[in-house]
Amino acid sequence: MRIKTIARHLTVAGLLLGGQATSVQAQDAKTITGGFDVGPGGFPKNFNPLAATGGFTWLSTYFEPLVIYNAELTELEGDLAKDYKVSDDKLTYTFNLAQESWHDGKPFTSKDVKFTLELARNKASGSLFAARLGDIASVDAPDDRTVVVKLSKPNGSFLSILSQVMILPQHALAAMPPETLATSTWWSTTPVGTGPFKFKRYVSDQYVELAADDDYRGGKPKVDVLINRYFESPAAAVAALRAGEIQFTYVEPDDAVSFKGDSNFKVIEGASYVVNYIGLNQKVELFRDVRVRQAIMYAIDRNAIIESLYGGAAKPANCGYVAPHLLPQGLEPYAYDPAQAKALLAEAGWDKINGDKPITLLTYYGSPQAANVMAAIQSMLAEVGINVVPRVVDTPTYNGIVYKEGTPDWNAFAMVYAGLQNGPNPAGISPGLNKSQIPPAGFNTMRIEFDDLSAALDAALAQTDPAKIDQSWQQVCKVMNKDLPWATLWVANRYGVASSKLRDFVWTPAPAGGPYAAHSERWDIQ
């Protein structure tokens, strides 16, 4: 019956962009070409890791962080830091650095790490890490191979945050005023990293080409060239994959099914660690009454959408995550109940607050599946008297709208359909919900300033006792479930397809496209 229900609600066809990406010319060098930035893991022209909200699977092939998650996303390991130590009071982190050189031949030293962390903490640089690294009290470089970071208070997410901070070259960037970095062409013309591949060229809107760094500390890469192809849609990427123009790409669930059983390809599936939600802008009067937020939850048949549009490959989320050890007992499940939704809206005086006036539902998800999800949500909300109008834009446009400082047009993103990392460290949701993370400090684009929620998040971040950490995040979940800063929807699985010609190829459905230890220097192709 649920599939029939969703079919009744589903009235909009997929929003599939037309056109094809320009082909990359065949090359004599051993080459792997992929659709790195197709799907929710990234977006084209995403070159600045300080301001990136996704696409780290690609960025981490030529930039590197101090520490990184393993490919299973179960624990952190050293990257540019060979190893590290944490003091008993959890305030001092000592990193012993690997011996490495920048792609231009300059030596990588502790001064680069100190420069990067200070730059990442500087709001003027456009860094999205500024508030997240706000607990840093000092960064010292006592010698070329050692970095000592001291915190003003314990922060259980600190190492996880560092896994996304790509270390940058002081010698190349120090002379640039921080406020010019966000728009600098350096990122897309002459970037210098320490990773297994070095930047060669970017052909506007078509592809980025990297060349092997023969002197990489992990060994000379097995392929000579690594290329990231850009596509106007997942369907175009799938067509290129089937034609042999690329060797891997993200795919939608329906496409993944079509590749199963084909010996020429391998289907890769795993948890996305991303919670999809409807953000409710708290600068808009419409959503300040919790009864309205509750009504939205009751109005959406999440299980029907999961069954019909995700093929069952998702779990309903009643707070910011679905991992069993982070879920307390007694959560309100917000089971589909349109009658309850209507009653709550009536109690809140919805007819006077808004009635049937259209409300923008903004998203950066442009796939056919996302279009169907948006259409189903639109129909379900309309059934209870909430008139939403979906608007799909590309990720840079979306970011420009929701991260705008000052007094933007709040009604331009009164509601959003979005996703945010919720693992492997649950602290990943804090930048999207904590009142200290209002842009440009963090990702709290819905301008949520709920005191109880921020207090719970701060307490969980400060908790360093392993026996109490899960309990702290369970309290965050309770508060989210009660106050509903977002209308949480689900955590879905994510899919990739790779050619069987690839060897030692590691792809993980990581949140925001990584980063994780993919060891691209080991990738090979027949």
Query: Burial level of 14, CB count in 10 A (0-12/13-18/19+)?
Result: middle
Residue-by-residue DSSP string for 397-465: HHHHHHT--SS--GGGGSEEEEEEE--SSGGGGHHHH-GGGTTTTSS-TT----HHHHHHHHHHHH---
Q: Please tell me the predicted confidence (pLDDT) of residue 19.
A: 36
Residue 26 clears pLDDT 90, i.e. is over it: no
Quick one: average pLDDT of 454-476?
Answer: 92
User: How far is 231 from 169, CA to CA, in rounded Å?
Assistant: 30
**Residue 90 main-chain phi, psi, to 5 deg:** 65, 30
pLDDT tens digits for range 122-154:
989 989 888 889 899 999 999 999 999 999 998
pLDDT tens digits for range 260-313:
999 999 999 988 889 999 999 999 999 999 999 999 999 999 999 999 999 899
Buried residues in 49-65 as b, exposed as e (16+ CB within 10 A): bbbbbbbbbbbbbbbbb
User: How far is 202 from 207, CA to CA, in rounded Å?
Assistant: 6
Using CA of residue 377, residue 382, residue 385, residue 390, what is the dihedral sign?
Answer: positive
pLDDT grade, residue 195 (50/70/90)?
very high
User: How far is 60 from 515, CA to CA, in rounded Å?
Assistant: 6
Q: H-helix or E-strand containing 291?
A: helix 290-299
pLDDT tens digits for range 244-273:
999 999 988 888 999 999 999 999 998 888
User: How far is 287 from 356, CA to CA, in rounded Å?
Assistant: 15
Q: Please tell me the predicted confidence (pLDDT) of residue 102.
A: 98
Q: In terms of pLDDT, which residue wins out, 423 or 72?
A: 72
pLDDT grade, residue 41 (50/70/90)?
low
Classify 228 as helix, strand or coil. strand
- Residue 145 sits at the vertex; the CA angle it makes with 143 and 150, to the nearest 5 degrees, is 75
Residue 513 clears pLDDT 90, i.e. is over it: no
pTM: 0.86
Q: Token pair for residue 131?
A: 């508030």
Q: Token pair for residue 489?
A: 């929807």
User: 265, 487 in Cβ contact below 8 A?
Assistant: no
pLDDT grade, residue 37 (50/70/90)?
confident
User: How far is 338 from 335, CA to CA, in rounded Å?
Assistant: 9
